[in-house]
Amino acid sequence: MLTYSNYSEKISQLKNKKLSLQENVQYFLNQIKTKEHLNAFNFVFDDAIEQANTISKKIEDGTAGKLAGMVVAIKDVLAIKDKPLTCSSKILKDFVSIYNATAVKKLIDEDAIIIGKTNCDEFAMGSSNENSAFGAVLNPVDEERVPGGSSGGSAAVVAAGLCDVSLGTDTGGSIRQPAALCGIYGLKPTYGRVSRYGLTAFASSFDSIGPFSNNVEDAALVMEVIAGYDKNDSTSVNKGIPGYLENIALDKKLKIGVPKEFFAEGLDPEIKESIETQIEKLKSDGFEIVNIDLPHTQYSIATYYILTTAEASSNLARYDGARYGTRKENPKDLIDMYTSSRSENFGDEVKRRIMLGTYVLSAGYYDAYYKKAQKVRRLFKNDFDKAFELVDIILTPTVPATAFKLAEKMNDPLAMYLGDIYTTSANLAGIPGINIPVGKNSSGLPIGMQLMSAQFNEETLFQMSYYIQKKLL
């Protein structure tokens, strides 16, 4: 059993020796074994114990970093030097990274312990973690159900107590949706807040790296470490990083916007009721609740899938078997090497998106699809800019439904895509969003509530989330 409820407690127990880091890591390794059937890890690092030895010494010497002894799992789309980087794809099944992603390096530099790499949808494409060459991940809350995706493994390991926190990536909801389905916290930061260097690109202008955690404080602390400008990522932004954890107490009553478009047809009534209960509680606590309009919401899925597949079709061109990755043996010729290596080693969903993306970028279709979608994307930004002139926070459900059964939607990609309806907007607009586990439905499945804020205003998200965690739940 864990003797702490957040990292601040953990580090003080480590410092006053009420807790042994080695025992803590061993505990996690044992739990990982016990929960092996969840299939949440692609790789578990045996050297975690050695890391623990080194870091406990540092803690004793008082030279340890900001995250000393925090046990972290990393989604298997992020590069860790000398460790496998598979993106849960057959095409990279034997690939080992020769460098560290910036976010990972920052964690290591602050003495976090990397315990393993988590399962995910292949190249982060999916909403159920069923599109993985390593097989599906089970939801720890109900093992007959999916954990969500694409960062299903990263959500499951935190929900199942197999590590302290994890990193995931969010291109259209891949952190917030699995966090909602597994009942934990998950933050997608502002685009450009965390360096993408070392994040295997799915859709470069959408991808963000963020934390999963069981409490708001740990997410805030991890963000303090991984955020910031990186000279290796031209799209990262050079802006000061507030003390998210230090400033986590909310000192004013915020204005909260509720967009009616997010409560329309298709939303599970139990989720609707649960979110409305939270809104009522906030109102009675003195928060001003304002109805707002996000009029282009109905176009979010279409816009999102045009732009992300276009970028993906180009980003995934490098996996051709020529220089690294899985190559078709004894191909007839160059074309056969390309087509066979790719046909045999990409999964169906990845192929579907590459084809969609290739189509929307093709001569004659570019203007009608890609260019048009870029213009619509601008409208989303405008909608949110306008909204944040009126309110500090936008509050919505994270997903329209709770965790669904394994295989339930595998033959209906469109239904699967529609599950992203509430999350894709934040990626289109480049703003941050967080999932807060606000309760459970009648079958005991977690319900998630999403908060969004203006760009680079993660601080307010953490404050509001912390308030809800402390006062409302």
Partner 1 sequence: MNSKYEAVIGLEVHAQLLTNTKIFCGCSTKFGNNPNSNVCPVCLGHPGVLPVLNKKVVEFSILFGLATDCVINEKNVFARKNYFYPDLPKGYQISQFELPIVEHGHLDITLKDGTVKRLGITRAHMEEDAGKSIHSQGDETLVDVNRCGVPLLEIVSEPDMRSAEEAYLYLTKLKQIVQYLGICDGNMEEGSLRCDANVSIRPVGQEKLGTRAEIKNLNSFNNVAKSIEFEIERQIELVEDGGEVVQETLLWNADKNETYSMRGKEDSHDYRYFPDPDLIPIHISEEWKNEIAETMPELPKARFERFVNDFKLPEYDAGVLTATKNLADYYEEVLKETDDYKSASNWVMGDVSKILNEEKIDVSKFPISPVNIGKLIALINNNTISSKIAKDVFPEMMKEDKDPAVIVKEKNLVQITDTSAIDDAVTKVVDANPGQVAQFLEGKEKVIGFLVGQVMKETKGKANPQMVNDALKNKMNEMK
The residues of the shown chain that bind partner 1, judged by CB under 8 A, are: 77-79, 85, 87, 92, 95, 97-99, 101, 196-201, 203-205, 231-235, 310-311, 313-314, 316-318, 320, 322-324, 334, 338, 358, 361-363, 366, 370
Please identify, using beta-carbon distances, which residue of 12 and 232 lies nearer to partner 1: 232
Helix runs in 110-172, H state only = 152-159
Among candidate residues 78, 119, 118, 89, the one with its CA nearest the CA of residue 349: 89
Cβ–Cβ under 8 Å, residues 229 and 239: yes
Please identify, using beta-carbon distances, which residue of 107 and 258 lies nearer to partner 1: 107
Task: Give dist(CA 390, CA 392) in Å, integer.
Answer: 7
* 403 burial type by CB count under 10 A (0-12 exposed, 13-18 middle, 19+ buried): buried
Which listed residue (150, 213, 274, 341) is catalytic? 150
Which listed residue (35, 75, 117, 409) is catalytic? 75
Instruction: Please indicate whether residue 195 is annotated as part of the active site.
Output: no
Minimum CB–partner distance for residue 301 and partner 1 (Å): 20
Minimum CB–partner distance for residue 313 and partner 1 (Å): 8
> 258: part of which helix (H) or strand (E)?
strand 255-259
What distances in angstroms separate CA 247 from CA 211, 282, 392, 464, one per listed residue? 18, 20, 16, 11
| Residue showing tokens 């805030």 | 220
Please identify, using beta-carbon distances, which residue of 185 and 369 lies nearer to partner 1: 369
Instruction: Please indicate whether residue 351 is annotated as part of the active site.
Output: no
Phi, psi of 350 (to 5 degrees): -60, -45
Task: Give dist(CA 418, CA 399) in Å, integer.
Answer: 10
Minimum CB–partner distance for residue 5 and partner 1 (Å): 34
Structure token digits, residue 196: 């993408």
Please identify, using beta-carbon distances, which residue of 124 and 162 lies nearer to partner 1: 124
Identify the DSSP state of 105: H
Cβ–Cβ under 8 Å, residues 121 and 89: no
Minimum CB–partner distance for residue 197 and partner 1 (Å): 5
Minimum CB–partner distance for residue 192 and partner 1 (Å): 9
Task: Give dist(CA 426, CA 205) in Å, integer.
Answer: 12
Please identify, using beta-carbon distances, which residue of 11 and 78 lies nearer to partner 1: 78
Number of other CB atoms surrounding residue 280 within 10 Å: 11
Minimum CB–partner distance for residue 93 and partner 1 (Å): 13
Minimum CB–partner distance for residue 335 and partner 1 (Å): 9
Task: Give dist(CA 236, CA 228) in Å, integer.
Answer: 7
Helix axes 7-15, 21-34, angle to 10 degrees: 130
Three-state DSSP class for 96?
Answer: strand
Which listed residue (89, 151, 166, 174) is catalytic? 174
Among candidate residues 83, 142, 71, 80, the one with its CA nearest the CA of residue 111: 71
Please identify, using beta-carbon distances, which residue of 399 and 426 lies nearer to partner 1: 426
Instruction: Please indicate whether residue 204 is annotated as part of the active site.
Output: no
Please identify, using beta-carbon distances, which residue of 8 and 374 lies nearer to partner 1: 374
Query: Which active-site residues does the annotation give?
Result: 75, 150, 174
